[in-house]
Amino acid sequence: MNLLVATLTRDMRLGLRRKSQIMMAPIFFMMIVVLFPLALGPDPVVMKLAAPGLLVVAALLAALLPLDTLFRDDCDDGSLDLLMLSGSPVSFYVFGKVSAYWLLTSLPLLIVAPVMMLVLNMPISMAIPVFLALFPVTWLLNLIGAAGAALALGTRPGSVLLALLLIPFYIPVLIFGAAALDLTRNGVNAGAPFILLWALLALTLPIVPLVTAAILRGLRE
Amino acid sequence: MNAVFANIFTLANPTRFRRVARPLLWMTAVTAVCLFVWGLYLALFASPVDYLQQESVRIMYVHVPAAWLSLMAYSSLAMAALSFLIWRHTLAGLYIRAVAPVGAAFTATCLISGSIWGYPTWGAWWVWDARLTSMLVLLFLYAGIIALADAFDNREKGMKAAAWLSLVGVINLPIIKFSVDWWNTLHQPASISSFSKIAEPALHSSMLTPLLVMAGAYLCLFIVLAIVRTENEMMVRRAENNRVRGSVNG
Amino acid sequence: MGEGGDYIAFVWAAYVTAFAILGGLTVSSVFKNRKLKKQEKE
């Protein structure tokens, strides 16, 4: 537990030190959202149709982009190896890393989301469903992304390998998240996708850090 | 130095592998040819045409077995991954490198033949049908495994990473299938789902037999490819180890 | 519904593509096998 808190606070402190880094994720999210009206035309009807899926896709891409660096710094300076040799529970370290990552990248995204909703002509009454959908979606993307980052750890940085690996695993999250918002917007009973999202989150929260730890250990030189 | 010892002690003895694999290879290859000849005859000439689809129903005989084999190949990757990660059978690791492209090829065949089948049947080159979409995601999974295995400088690490990815992927397959099915019922207009039903009538034996024969032919082809390509991986690995040994000693 | 002749072109296209992909993979794998075996003998 101490390891978790220690990792979390350390990464938060490192992340907050460079303020511009924190602003990058929500700004990237906003830019993606803005691209689509520019591409599809400003017709509010089109935007209303596209908005739910668009929010989730933008969240996906914004979560994906900085993911490569999740373990890289610790790997490069050797602290990852030290951690694994010391016998500490690596899964707690992983969870601490993901939590810090989520706080630094996804939380700002959630804060900015209502503004994006207005830009996309979504009714503000959807703010709570958007939060209830994007919260598990971003956590799932970050958790699964951590496992992917662990797999791709020894490879050349800056390639699209990580995105290529992760997208098939992101697809169910995308489907359920977008459907949740789409059905809510249509006024249909949207219980199923929301429940599925939160159930998936409950499932992956304990399991994925363990799997990621096993991958980190297994792929150590 | 470790790589050399690992090669000698954990890899299935190459002579033994050759001794077992060679006759199996020839037997399977001959069976494959026979099944293909018989299957093609049945598929192209001796089977009936569909009332609505006319001749294009014959595409089913190359499309459906490809789908079956692509799924079977993925399961075999997952089993090899287990064998490699838990029991450290190097041969299993080589198998993953060898067979991932084979699975991808079957998936691509399935997708392209499905698309060609779709045009006369549904009037579109691609429909976001649940099965085809799942196959597309499977292709991406294969692409990821192939890319990951090659992305490391150290081949051993690449095999391990690919093994992990295969394993995690197989657990995710049911989730992907479920979500795509669910998504499909959510979004597809009723007309396309009724077309899907047309594409899959209850199969009469005159259609089932060619399908099964072609499936058998595909399976034999898969075995041939798996053996040949695993042997290739084995030889490449041995050549690399020799190179390393030579540069250490020389 | 449409002439059976049109559909036959599609059938051809599907079969040729399938065999091109699978056959191409088989041929290239076998050639690589021969090449590697020859290199081993050296």
Query: What are the residue ranges spanned by the domains of chain A?
Result: 2-218
Residue B195 sits at the chain C interface (C-beta within 8 Å) = no
Chain B residues touching residue C4 (CB < 8 angstroms): 49, 54-55
**Would you place residue B6 in the very low, low, confident or very high pLDDT band (cuts 50, 70, 90)?**
very low
The conformational region for residue B154 under phi > 0 = left, psi -120 to 50 = alpha, else beta, is: beta
pLDDT exceeds 90 at position A177: yes
Residue C1: predicted pLDDT: 44
Residue C13 sits at the chain B interface (C-beta within 8 Å) = yes
Pick the residue with more confidence: B167 or B190? B167
Interface of B with C in 218-247 (CB under 8 A): 221, 224-225, 228-229, 231-232, 235-236, 238-239
Interface of B with A in 9-38 (CB under 8 A): none
Phi first, then psi: what are they for A71, rounded to 5°? Answer: -105, -5
Closest CA in chain B for residue C29: B229
pTM recorded for the entire structure:
0.88
Chains that touch A (3 or more CB pairs under 8 A): B
pLDDT exceeds 80 at position B55: no
Q: What is the C-alpha to C-alpha distance for residues C36 and C34, in angstroms, rounded to an integer? A: 6
**Would you place residue A89 in the very low, low, confident or very high pLDDT band (cuts 50, 70, 90)?**
confident
Q: Is B116 in Cβ contact with C26 (below 8 Å)?
A: no
In 10 A of CB B77, how many CB atoms? 27
Residue B105 sits at the chain C interface (C-beta within 8 Å) = yes
Residue B173 sits at the chain A interface (C-beta within 8 Å) = no
Chain C residues touching residue B52 (CB < 8 angstroms): 1
Q: Is B53 in Cβ contact with C7 (below 8 Å)?
A: yes
**Would you place residue B8 in the very low, low, confident or very high pLDDT band (cuts 50, 70, 90)?**
very low
Q: Is A164 in Cβ contact with B161 (below 8 Å)?
A: no
- State both tokens at B15: 């002579």
Q: What is the C-alpha to C-alpha distance for residues B3 and B238, in angstroms, rounded to an integer? A: 10
Cα separation values, B214 from A207, B29, B42, B156, Å: 41, 14, 9, 36
Q: Please name the helix (run of DSSP H) or strand (run of DSSP E) that holds residue B164, with its range, or none.
A: helix B155-187
Do residues B43 and B58 touch, judged by C-beta distance below 8 A? yes
% of chain A with per-residue pLDDT over 90: 42
Q: What is the C-alpha to C-alpha distance for residues A141 and A115, in angstroms, rounded to an integer? A: 22
Q: What is the C-alpha to C-alpha distance for residues B241 and C9, in angstroms, rounded to an integer? A: 50
Amino acid code (one letter) for A204: T
Q: What is the C-alpha to C-alpha distance for residues B124 and A183, in angstroms, rounded to an integer? A: 27
pLDDT exceeds 60 at position C3: no
Residue A154 sits at the chain B interface (C-beta within 8 Å) = yes
Do residues B55 and C11 touch, judged by C-beta distance below 8 A? yes
Cα separation values, B163 from B135, B156, B170, B223, Å: 20, 11, 11, 20
Residue B189: predicted pLDDT: 52
**B touches C (3+ CB pairs < 8 Å)?**
yes
In 10 A of CB A40, how many CB atoms? 13
Distant-in-sequence contacts of B173-178, Cβ < 8 A, 24+ apart = B173/B74, B173/B138, B173/B141, B175/A172, B176/A168, B176/A171, B176/A172, B176/B134, B176/B137, B177/B134, B178/A172
In angstroms, the first-to-last Cα distance of chain A is: 27
Nearest to B72 by CA among B32, B31, B106: B106
Task: Render pLDDT for B61-115 as a digit per residue (tens, 0 to 9).
Answer: 999 999 999 999 999 999 999 999 998 888 899 999 999 999 999 999 999 999 9
Note the CATH architecture for domain B2-249.
Up-down Bundle (1.20)
- Name which of A31-40, B20-29, B133-142, B200-209 the model is least confident about: B200-209
Residue among C14, C18, C36 minimizing CB distance to B236? C36
pLDDT exceeds 50 at position B4: no
User: Three-state DSSP class for B54?
Assistant: strand
Look up tokens 């990757």; give the residue: B77
ipTM summary value: 0.88
pLDDT exceeds 60 at position B160: yes
Chain B residues touching residue A221 (CB < 8 angstroms): 154, 157
